Structure 1
Amino acid sequence: MSRGTSVSARTRWVDIAKGIAILLVALYHSVLFLTAAGVADDMWVDVNQVFKVFRMPLFFFASGLFALSVIARSWSRLWRSRLALLVWAFGLWSVIRFAFFHLVDSPLPLDETKLLRLAIAPLWPQTGLWFLHALVVFFVAAKLLDVLRVPVWLQVGGAAVVSIPFFAGVDLGNISYDGMLQYFVFFLVACHLRDRILPAVQRCGLPATTLAIAAFACGYVVVTWFGLEEVPGPMFVLAIVALIAGLLLARTIDRVGPVARPLAWMGRQTLPIYVAHVLFIGALTSALRRVADNPVVDAVRPVLPLLVMAIAVAASLALWRAVRDLPVLRYLYEAPSWVRTVFGFIRSAEPSESDRSPVRP
């Protein structure tokens, strides 16, 4: 996504956090495809399980850190600056994925190959693009709560109460709505408590990071050992610990890690990675299934999900860089002007942004 704020106002470790999150998402999909195809070790299923409460809370939290100024904009400006791209990308890439997985066999039963699912996707999304749908709803919901002057403590508390049972396994049968109800609290906390969170993370060093990661590891062992995954509360608490560990890890990498710059750069390019990486994973998986008995494939099987993830992310970024300045093709990652201005007629009816300020704690 676009950065949405000046470089000076945004710390690099936030981008690193998003970079970590998007890599974990890509790894998750790589494991799903490769294990379903029978060309990756089953141990990777356990790896995915470990990061279950790590990926999306970190991603949505990082997405919400600089959202307060965005939701303070008028509705038309909010549409032009943020929502238009999300809606456009969701619709366009839903069609692209529909066509792609009709041509490329998938080892997973994907809903995106069904025409009816494609038609109702804006209201009932059931594909890996659900995070775009969720972000649109998050911005609109946060804006509405701001307009209605709902106190921040009530926003966060209500979202947490809703989130807890979904972390315990409650679901509505829809990946996007389940995700929204589960993760909205992290977006809201980041949005409204940023000025308290950023300085706190800035002050923490390696000892705090080590302690947070150890706390997450111990918490995960306790929750899984005692079978508490479906008990309301423990998984939600574990997600909070995982989020803290992820933020502190990103801050530590920013200080001492040689991969800080590429991770931060990837964190600023989450859209190109997110919309395309599953296509490359699907194509690679289809090819690997045909040579599953090859000695080379067998030799790299223990690390195959990592290799496929890295190739898919690199290919996604390469595709974006190749077409981003080309006529027509640049609209794979950019909303056309007619989409951005579709709600321009309501601009004159809105109050001035200077007449109101967002709700704060």
Structure 2
Amino acid sequence: MAKALCILLVVLMHCEFAYDNADWLYRAELKQAWHVMNEAIRPLRMPMFFLVSGLLASGSVMNPNRRSLQNRLHRPLYLYFLWGALLSWVLPVGFAPDVSDNIIIRLGMSIGLIATSSWYMLGLAIFFVFTKMTRGVSLIAVFFLCACLSAIGTIYQDMFVMHQSKLLRCLIFFVAGVRMRDQLFSLGDAASMSRTIAFGALFLIGSIALYGSDNYLLPVDLAAVVFGISLCRILVERKSLLRPARWLAQRTLPIYLLHFLMIPALAYLGTQILPQALLRSYWFGLIVPLLSLPVLIASSLIVHKLLMAAGATWLFDLPSRDRLANVPEWQPPSDGPAACAN
């Protein structure tokens, strides 16, 4: 449930940039409105995503084998460099320092300075190595180090070029997912409506306090993540939501990688087919990201299916992946507490 919720929030966040590619009358106002909403959700979105990623990688880190090393290190690194180059070429991202107009140099800097949109894949690889190297170290000491790195990311955020501060901020949540798997499941089992509301209120207060600062604080992230865990555990009890959430959670990789390309395409198509009355309506424009969300997910999955049918499996996995196909890797249970993570 949590993984499905996180990918929805990630896609919804990037829908903000669709206003740059469509002829909206209130383009600046609409983008600003969604930017405010996305900033309010920020303490939940990526910390929760990395927490779930840590939960799912826990067995691989604590009991590694050749396949886990391939899945958790080689694969995300490969996808980061591949999609980093592809996305930076198709959707150039402005960042400083801009030293050259040469496409090769710009792609290299985008990847090297972690300016590419596929930074989450790099985070998975780095965090896997970190947790594997520190698995014998006291959890309190590791958490203290992670908290210090988070503080550095907060205090010196303006000194980083692009996504480095996000990596520093989210490391502690991946570590928690790996090292505190059982405790987190127990926390989910103990979820109640009153606790969900209480931590939701703390999350909301923290988001309001940070409004306009373009920054984050670890206590607010923690409150948001506990709120997310409790909310997902409550939602899991609704069997009608569990099956589609699990279906979506199993397809987050192609959605994450492909939705970046779908957003400008959908925005351009909307400009061409929507009547001017809608393009000039502030209120319709305000709900466009919500309306676009299922379209972006569906189109990403359709394109993924077509690419796989065309034999482009190398876009989503290591070309030599099948060599270790019969080597088992730890998997979370299909039911019980882990259901809220899937």
Give the C-alpha shift of residue 283 in structure 1.
1.3
1:151 aligns with 2:138: yes
- Match for residue 163 of structure 1? 150
Q: Where do 1:27-42 residues align within 5 Å?
A: 27-34=12-19, 39=24, 40=27, 41=30, 42=32
Where 2:114 maps in the other structure, the secondary structure is: coil
Counterpart check, 1:48 vs 2:38: yes
Cα drift, residue 75 of structure 1:
6.7
8 Å CA contact 2:188–2:229 kept in 1: the answer is yes
TM-score scaled to structure 2, two decimals? 0.81
Among candidates 240, 243, 246, match of residue 261 of structure 1: 243
RMSD over aligned Cα atoms: 3.0
Distance 2:67 2:241 in 1: 36
Cα deviation 1:254-281 (Å, max 9, x = unaligned)? 1137433222322222111110001000
Match of 1:26 in 2: 11
Residue pairs, 1:313-352, within 5 angstroms: 313-324=297-308, 326=309, 328-337=311-320
Contact 1:84 1:339 in 2 (8 A): no
> Bigger shift: 63-72 or 112-121?
112-121
Partner of 2:177: 190
Q: Gaps spanning 5+ residues in structure 1: where?
A: 1-15, 342-361
What is the Cα deviation at residue 296 of structure 1?
A: 3.2
Q: CA deviation at 1:155?
A: 0.8
Following superposition, the deviation at residue 303 of structure 1 comes to 0.7
Going from structure 1 to structure 2, the CA distance change for 1:64 and 1:74 (only over 3 Å counts) comes to: closer
Partner of 1:286: 268
Q: Distance in 2 between matches of 1:244 and 1:35?
A: 34
Q: Distance in 2 between matches of 1:340 and 1:89?
A: 18
CA contact (8 A) 1:223 1:229 kept: yes
**For residues 26-84 of structure 1, what are the alpha-carbon distances to aligned partners after superposition, in whole Å with 9 as ceiling and x for unaligned?**
11111133257563523212111111211100100111113232123457443323223
Query: Does structure 2 conserve the Cα–Cα contact (< 8 Å) formed by 1:57 and 1:243?
Result: yes
Q: Quick one: distance in 1 between partners of 2:167 and 2:250?
A: 22
**Is residue 150–residue 169 contact of structure 2 (8 Å, CA) maintained in 1?**
yes
Is 1:249 aligned to residue 236 of structure 2?
A: no
> Is 89-98 or 186-195 further displaced after alignment?
89-98
Deviations 1:225-281 (A, max 9, x none): xx7766xxx722111111111111111111137433222322222111110001000
Instruction: List gaps (5 residues or longer) in structure 2.
Output: 325-342
CA distance in 1, matches of 2:66, 2:163: 25
SS of alignment partner, residue 259 of structure 1: helix
Query: Which residue in the other structure is 1:240 paired with?
Result: 222
2 CA distance for matches of 1:287 and 1:117? Answer: 29
TM alignment of 1:83-98, pairs within 5 A = 83-98=73-88
Task: Show the counterpart of 2:289.
Answer: 305
For the residues of structure 1 that align with 2:259 and 2:307, how far apart are their CA atoms?
16
Superposed displacement of residue 202, structure 1:
1.1
Instruction: Give the structure 2 partner of residue 134 of structure 1.
Output: 123
The Cα shift of 1:24 comes to 0.9
Counterpart-to-counterpart distance in 2, 1:340 and 1:130: 27
| Cα shift readout 1:73-127 (whole Å, capped 9, x = no counterpart) | 45744332322321222233234324534xxxx8x74899943132345533211
Residue 172 and residue 262 in structure 1: after superposition, are their counterparts in 2 closer, same or farther (change >3 A)?
A: farther
120-129 or 311-320, larger mean C-alpha shift = 120-129
Q: SS of the counterpart of 1:244?
A: helix
Deviates more, 1:285-294 or 1:80-89: 285-294
Please tell me whether the aligned partners of residues 84 and 340 of structure 1 are also in contact (alpha carbons under 8 angstroms). no
| Cα 1:121/1:75, change in 2 over 3 Å | farther
Alignment of 1:119 onto 2:115: no
Q: Any conservation in 2 of the 1:134–1:177 contact (CA below 8 Å)? A: no
What is the rounded CA distance, in whole Å, between the counterparts of 2:161 and 2:66 in structure 1? 29
